[in-house]
Amino acid sequence: MRVYLYAIIDSNDKIRKAIKGLEKASVYNIPYRDIGLIVSKLNGQVQDISIDRAIEHEGVVETLMEDFTLLPVRFLTLFDKEEDLLSVIKGYYSDFIENLDRLRNKIEFGIKVIWPGNTIRERIMNNYPKDDYPASISGDSPGKDFIKARFKRYKITKGFEDEAERCIAVIDNLFSLSVTEKRLERLKSENLLLNAYYLVEKERQDDFRRSFEQLKSSFNDFKYLFSGPWPPYNFIIPKVI
């Protein structure tokens, strides 16, 4: 029997709820000092790495989130025996404590913002002045024509990125009063304007949701993917397990 780890929590008490994990095994807490290691027993290797197993793992973590501050662990984190798990925990105990203190009573939300990037780039191209070139490349020649084309692409790309940054700043500012930390991934593709992760105090989540509703009305030609609340997957520093 191997030990499957789901999360690290801010309690060394027994789990009061009856929680079932992978293979319907009972979930329990291995106490270590003032924290707990949430595990279940597993027969051998995980042969079937399926979406169902990932959902079972996430279900355990979300159930624990209702009662504890926790550090979620990567899917399919296995140890041969409890002693092996404890030896790892001992080496990183101070990191776990720092993270638990920083993330206490906080949850994560995710927002993806899809904008009409192709249309915006085309608009910038259509509005680009024909003669907007430095004096040093004025005139006609094959070499200057090549440089002009490169310069035009640069200016259009710069205008596109500037417009993206302007929109991202407005969007992010809407959430500034209700978040404690954030991670912003800008322009992951032409049309994916923003992929954002926000850390929010539990008592401020209604404020965060209202800010999102305001965002939708401010940019009603954009599309949005809103997710959460989640455990703080993207705010653990460092990710040691």
What is the tens place of the pLDDT at every residue in 95-124? Answer: 999 999 999 999 999 999 999 999 999 999
- The contacts of residue 95 (CB under 8 Å, 6+ apart) are 237, 238, 240
Here the tokens at position 36 are 């707990």
Burial 11-48 (b: 16+ CB within 10 A, else e): beeebeeebebbeebebebbebeebbbbbbbbeeebee
Residue 11's pLDDT band (boundaries 50, 70, 90)?
A: very high
Q: Which residues are registered as beta bridge partners of 78?
A: 4
Q: Are residues 134 and 212 in the same domain?
A: yes
Range with the poorest average pLDDT among 32-36, 60-64, 73-77, 180-184:
73-77
Domain count, the chain: 2
Domain end residue (candidates: 79, 104, 129): 104
Residue 1's pLDDT band (boundaries 50, 70, 90)?
A: confident
Q: Are residues 36 and 77 in the same domain?
A: yes
Q: In the 8-state DSSP scheme, what is residue 5?
A: E
Residue 241 lies inside a defined structural domain of this protein: no
Residue 73 lies inside a defined structural domain of this protein: yes
User: Structural domain of residue 188, as residue ranges?
Assistant: 108-235
**207 and 198 in contact (C-beta within 8 Å)?**
no
Residue 240 lies inside a defined structural domain of this protein: no
pLDDT confidence of residue 238: 78
**71 and 203 in contact (C-beta within 8 Å)?**
no
pTM for this prediction? 0.86
| Listed residue (180, 185, 124) closest to 152, CA to CA | 124
Q: Are residues 160 and 218 in the same domain?
A: yes
Q: Are residues 132 and 230 in the same domain?
A: yes
Residue 133's pLDDT band (boundaries 50, 70, 90)?
A: low
